[in-house]
Amino acid sequence: MNIQRLAAFSDEQQGGNPAGVVISDELPATAAMQQIAKDVGYSETAFAQPVEGGFKVRYFSPLSEVPFCGHATIALGAALAQAYGNNTYALTLNEANITVEGRVEGENIHASLQSPPTHSEAASEHLLSEALTLFHLTKDDLDLRIPPAFAHGGANHLVLFLKSRQTLAELDYPQQLGKVWMDAENLVTVLLGYIENDQLFHTRNAFASGGVFEDPATGAATAALAGYLRDIKWPHGGDINIVQGEDMGSRSLLNATFSNEPGSSIRVSGSVRQIQG
């Protein structure tokens, strides 16, 4: 079985979020996919099977299956472009239908996904209180220009924005306790962010639910955030950029473009690099 290793949302052939990609005539059994994801050891591995009109896709972290993973979809888009040519590919997920566009231009590889529909709601006081305790934060640390929210863009994320870039850089939490809590609250990640300006944000994504402390680039959370910014009528101008992974030494760049139509898909784009070895 050919397991490809690519880093999605890389910055000038550096950083990005590693993902495994397996394209095969038939998807392996669920237990086998789970074991492969564990052996690969990245936060996500995407498995794709050709079907009429596109590909059937499932995503696995080392610990569990997840409904949607943005960075693994970007990595898959790059792998599909390399295997089948530059094109837009239809993907059938467990809970949604999306597309990914992959392009190879010389040594550069780029991919863009169209997310599942988005929706958001204010975070409950109970959820917020537990999150603040987990991350050793207080309400005074929060930047309420973007209020705490439960946001969905193919997977569920809690969104917390902080007043201080330094506070974001000092992110810490007990990972095992975080996993238990995220699983109980049906959260894939917790997105913690800092506003540099209306269209540029710094984010970190705690991903204890998937068995890792944090993700260096999270396309699904970026889609959820973009949908949430649209919902609160943030002056986004239809285009936002995310710097993620910088504080863990794996700087990643993500771009999201979207309309003002409530709930509509978000286009998330980035560069992809091959991981050697």
Helix (H) or strand (E) holding 115: none
Distance (Å, rounded) from C-alpha 276 to C-alpha 27? 25
The closest of 146, 179, 172, 150 to 64, measured between CA atoms, is: 179
Mean pLDDT of all residues in 188-215: 95
Distance (Å, rounded) from C-alpha 129 to C-alpha 108? 44
Instruction: Find all residues with CB under 8 Å of 134, minimum gap 6, and list them.
Output: 173, 174, 177, 178, 181
DSSP 11: B
Give the CA angle between residues 111, 249, 177 to the nearest 5°. Answer: 95
pLDDT score of 76: 98
Mean pLDDT of the chain: 95
Domains and CATH numbers, the chain: 3-116 (3.10.310.10), 119-264 (3.10.310.10)
Handedness of CA 97, 118, 41, 19 (dihedral sign): positive
**Does the pLDDT value for residue 144 go beyond 90?**
yes
Express each pLDDT in 24-79 by its tens digit: 999 999 999 999 999 999 989 999 999 999 999 999 999 889 889 999 999 999 99
CB neighbours of residue 277 within 10 Å: 3
CB neighbours of residue 56 within 10 Å: 15
Query: In sequence order, what DSSP letters do the residues of 214-232 get, joined into one string?
Result: EES--HHHHHHHHHHHHHT
Q: Are 82 and 226 in contact (CB under 8 A)?
A: no
Distance (Å, rounded) from C-alpha 78 to C-alpha 45? 14
Place of tokens 């794996």: 250
Give the CA angle between residues 235, 112, 245 to the nearest 5°. Answer: 70
Where does the pLDDT of residue 13 fall: very low under 50, low under 70, confident under 90, or very high at 90 and above?
confident
In Å, what is the CA distance from 183 to each residue of 42, 137, 262?
A: 19, 20, 28
pLDDT score of 160: 98
Handedness of CA 138, 139, 143, 148 (dihedral sign): positive
Q: φ, ψ for residue 51 (rounded to 5)? A: -135, 170
SS3 236: coil
pLDDT score of 268: 97
**Does the pLDDT value for residue 243 go beyond 90?**
yes
Mean pLDDT of all residues in 222-250: 96
pLDDT score of 277: 59
Mean pLDDT of all residues in 145-172: 97
